[in-house]
Amino acid sequence: MNRFPTILTLLRKEHGLTQKQAAHDLGVSQALLSHYEKGIRECGLDFLIRAADYYGVTCDFLLGREEAGSARADGRSAAVAVYEACCTLNGMLPPGSEWRAETLGVLSLYGTITAMAESGKCPKSWLGLKKRARRLTPYMAGMAEAGLIAQIPDKITGDPPESLKWVVDRAEEMIGRAALAMGDEPLRKEKRAEAPGRSGE
C-alpha cells in the first residue's frame, strides 16, 4: 500500500498550510503537488528529500516505512501517528473485515461534532440525523470497538508496535493529567511509586 500521498497531505494540513503555500515553498506547481497528494503521479527523489526536510521528517517516514512514533519527538506528527495506528490495527484484521480502526475514529469525531452543534458552537445544519437518532452514537462506538476486537483472529504477544505504543502513551498521559487535576489520590500514589528511585507503596 502506497502511504506517501496520505502522509504528505496530513503533514501539510498538520502544519496549517494551504496547498498553494506548500507548493510554493517546495518549488513545484500547486497542480503537481495536488497530483502527488492524490497519488496520481509519483514524485522524484529530489522532491522527496525536499519534502522530508521541509516537514522535518525522514524520507522513510514520508514513504510509510517508518512509524510515526519513532519519526519525530516534538509531537507535531500526531495526525500521522493516529493514521499509522489505524493502519497497524487494520493490519491485524482479516481481509474484508466489517469493522475497521477508522470506524472508531469516525464515530468519536462525529460525537464531538454533535456535541459542538448541540452546545451552539457550530450550526445544527452540519448534522443530518435528528437528535434522537444521534443518541445512538455511543452505542455504535461500543459496538464498533467490540466488533473490531472480535475480528482479530489470534492473541497478540510481544512488545506493542510503535504506533500503538504512541497512542497508549499519549492517551494515558492525558488521562493521568486529568485525574491528578481532579485530585485522584490512588493515581497520585501510583505516580509516586513509579518515580525513579522509589520502591512502590
185-194 and 162-181 helices, crossing angle to 10°: 130
Residue 190 is assigned to a structural domain of this protein: yes
Mean pLDDT of 70-91: 67
Residue 64 is assigned to a structural domain of this protein: yes
- Amino acid type, 165: K
d(CA 113, CA 153): 33
Which of residues 52 and 182 earns the better pLDDT score?
A: 52
Q: Give residue 109's pLDDT band: very low, low, confident or very high (50, 70, 90).
A: confident
- Please report the pLDDT score of residue 89 as a whole number: 83
- Please report the pLDDT score of residue 142 as a whole number: 85
User: Are 68 and 18 within one domain?
Assistant: yes
Question: Could you tell me which of 175, 171, 167, 173 has the C-alpha nearest to residue 87?
Answer: 167
Residue 86 is assigned to a structural domain of this protein: no
- Please report the pLDDT score of residue 138 as a whole number: 82
Residue 199 is assigned to a structural domain of this protein: no
Q: Domain range holding 18?
A: 4-78
Give, in degrees to the nearest 5, the angle at Cα 71 between 100 and 156.
40
Give the residue from 25, 47, 78 where a domain finishes: 78
User: Are 57 and 35 within one domain?
Assistant: yes
Write out pLDDT tens, residues 46-79.
Answer: 999 999 889 888 888 888 776 544 444 444 467 7
Mean pLDDT of 90-108: 82
d(CA 9, CA 11): 6
- Please report the pLDDT score of residue 46 as a whole number: 94
- Please report the pLDDT score of residue 70 as a whole number: 47
Residue 46 is assigned to a structural domain of this protein: yes
| Domains in the chain, number | 3
Residue 187 is assigned to a structural domain of this protein: yes
Q: Quote the DSSP letter at residue 126.
A: G
Give the residue from 45, 78, 111 where a domain finishes: 78
CB of 81 within 8 A of CB of 14?
no
- Here the CATH number for the domain that contains residue 70 is 1.10.260.40
Residue 103 is assigned to a structural domain of this protein: yes
Q: List Cα–Cα distances, 108 to 13, 32, 36, 104, in angstroms.
A: 20, 34, 29, 6
Write out pLDDT tens, residues 120-171.
Answer: 988 988 888 787 788 888 888 888 888 888 888 888 888 888 778 878 887 8
d(CA 29, CA 23): 6
User: Are 28 and 68 within one domain?
Assistant: yes
User: Are 35 and 56 within one domain?
Assistant: yes
- Please report the pLDDT score of residue 131 as a whole number: 78
User: Are 140 and 174 within one domain?
Assistant: no
Q: Which residue has the cell 500547486?
A: 30
Q: Give residue 184's pLDDT band: very low, low, confident or very high (50, 70, 90).
A: low
User: Are 68 and 103 within one domain?
Assistant: no
Write out pLDDT tens, residues 3-46.
Answer: 889 889 988 887 888 999 999 999 999 999 999 999 999 999 99
User: Are 99 and 42 within one domain?
Assistant: no
User: Are 8 and 73 within one domain?
Assistant: yes
Residue 157 is assigned to a structural domain of this protein: no
